[in-house]
Amino acid sequence: MTTPTPAEERITTEGSVYTVTGGDWDTLLDEDHDDRIVINMGPQHPSTHGVLRLVLELEGETVQQARSVIGYLHTGIEKNCEYRTWTQGVTFVTRMDYLAPIFNEVGYCLGVEKLLGIEAPRRAQQARVLLMELNRIGSHLVCLATGGMELGALTGMTAGFREREEVLHLLEFLTGLRMNHAYVRPGGLAQDFPEGWEEKVTEFVALMRTRLPDYDKLLTGQPIWRQRLENVGYLPLDGCLALGATGPILRSAGLPWDLRKVEPYCGYEEYDFEVPVLTEADCYARYRLRVAEMHESLKIIEQAVAKMEPGPVMVEDRKVAWPAQLSVGSDGMGNTLEHVRKIMGQSMESLIHHFKLVTEGFHVPAGQVYTAVESPRGELGFHLVSDGGTRPVRVHVREPSFVNLQTMPAMSEGGMVADVIAAVASIDPVMGGVDR
C-alpha cells in the first residue's frame, strides 16, 4: 500500500472538494468528513440524457442527498420567439423537446389560433392527431431504448432504435423531415400529406403490431429486468401531486390524468382509446405504462386514417394562411416554378401581400392564453402573450421534463447509487426541453 498524499481542500459552489492520490480510502476518511463523499454524475455521463449533472452525496453505496444541475443546453428559445413572427416561432419551439417536436408545434399553434379566434380545418386536426401519436410512439421507443442501454439491456437498445427508425422514416415521408419538422403552422399545416400516405401509415401500424410483443418477451417478463426496476424509484400519488409530476409518472401512481381525455383538443374526444394506469408507482410501472401507451397510440392512428376527410389543411383567411398551398420543388426544399409563376402572375397586389405576410407576419389580437397538450412526458403547456403586433410579447412553456425532473431526489434519496440511473431513465427527461 502506498502512503496517501495529504488531501488538499478546495472550496467550490457545491462545498469542499478533496483531491486524493494513492492509499486506502479508510485511512483518508475521518469524523470531520462524516464518512460521506460527493460525486458528480454527468454532465458527460452517458446515462444523464445529454447534459444533466447530478450531484450525489453518498454514504457508502447509499444516496443521502441528490441534486440536479441544469442549464448546460440552454438555447434561449423562449426569448428568441419574441424576435420572430408568430409563424417563425414554430421553427424554434419544435427544437425544445427534440424527441417530441410535433407536440411542441401543436401546443404552440393551438395557443396562437386561440388568440386569433380561429380553428384549423378538420383535416388538419386529424392529421395533427395522427402525427402526434406517431411521435408518441417514437419518443417512448427512445425512452425504452436508452433506459435499457443504461441498465445493461443492450438488445433492448438496438431493438428500440430499430423501431424508432421506422417512425422517423414515416414522419419524413409525411412532413419532409425526420425531426424539427415545423410542419404544424398557425391555422393548419404547411401542406397536405403526399400521395400514398394511407398505405405507408397502414403498413407501419401492421409492422408495429408484430414488433411490440417482442418487448414483452425481451424485457417485461425478463426476471433480471424486473428485479432491476421493481420497487426502485418509488414515488406515490401524494408525492407526484406535491411535485407537479404529470404523464407516465403520475399515471403509474394511480391517477388517470391524461389531457386527451380530461381536456380534449384536436378532436381527441372522437377517438376510442384507453388511458393505461397502474398503482405500483415504481420504475417498472412506468416502463409497462409506456409499452401500453404505444398500443393505444396504434389504435388512435388507425382511427385517424379512417376518419381523415378530404378538404383544406389551412384556414381560408389569406391574412393568416402562410405559406398558402405551397408546392415543393424537385429538390424537396424550394417552391416549384409553377407556384412561383402563380404568385408572380396573379397581380401586383397579391405579390405584395405574399411578401408582407412572409416578412412581417400577421397581427394577433392583444391578450394572453394558456394551451396544453399531453406530450409523451406529461402536460406541455404554452403561455402566449400578444400586444396586438406581429410578434409575441412573451412565450413561456410549462415543460414536463423540467417539472418532472424535480422528482429525482424523492425517487433516489435513501436508495443505492445504481438505482439513480434507473430512476432518471424512468423520468425520461429531455434536456432540450428542460433548458429551452
Computed over its alpha carbons, how large is the radius of gyration of the chain? 24
CB-based contacts of 133, cutoff 8 Å, min separation 6: 297, 298, 300, 301, 304
What type of residue is 74? H
Stretch (H or E) spanning 200: helix 197-215
- CATH fold for domain 77-322+361-435: Cytochrome-c3 Hydrogenase; chain B (1.10.645)
* The three three-digit cell numbers of residue 156, written as one number: 433492448
pLDDT tens digits, 33-64: 567 788 888 776 666 666 888 888 888 888 88
Low-confidence residues of the chain: pLDDT under 50: 1-2, 324
What's the DSSP call for residue 322? Answer: -
CB-based contacts of 189, cutoff 8 Å, min separation 6: 120, 124, 127, 128, 183, 313, 314
Looking up cell 403547456, which residue turns up? 381
* The three three-digit cell numbers of residue 358, written as one number: 412572409
Predicted structure pTM score = 0.85
The backbone torsions φ and ψ at residue 325, rounded to the nearest 5 degrees and listed phi first, read: 45, 60
* CA–CA distance, 150 with 375 (Å, rounded to integer): 23
* The three three-digit cell numbers of residue 388, written as one number: 396586438
Helices (H) and strands (E) in the chain — how many of each? 18, 10
pLDDT tens digits, 142-197: 999 988 888 888 888 888 889 999 999 999 988 888 888 888 999 888 888 888 89
pLDDT tens digits, 279-302: 998 999 999 999 999 999 999 999
What type of residue is 200? K
Stretch (H or E) spanning 53: strand 53-59
Q: Are 58 and 369 in contact (CB under 8 A)?
A: no
**What are the domain boundaries of the chain?**
8-69, 77-322+361-435
* The three three-digit cell numbers of residue 348, written as one number: 401586383
Q: What percent of the chain has pLDDT over 70?
A: 87
Helix ranges (DSSP H) in 266-372: 283-307, 337-346, 348-359
Distance of alpha carbon 291 from the chain centroid: 16
Number of neighbours of residue 409 by Cβ within 10 angstroms: 19
Q: Are 104 and 398 in contact (CB under 8 A)?
A: no
What's the DSSP call for residue 313? Answer: S
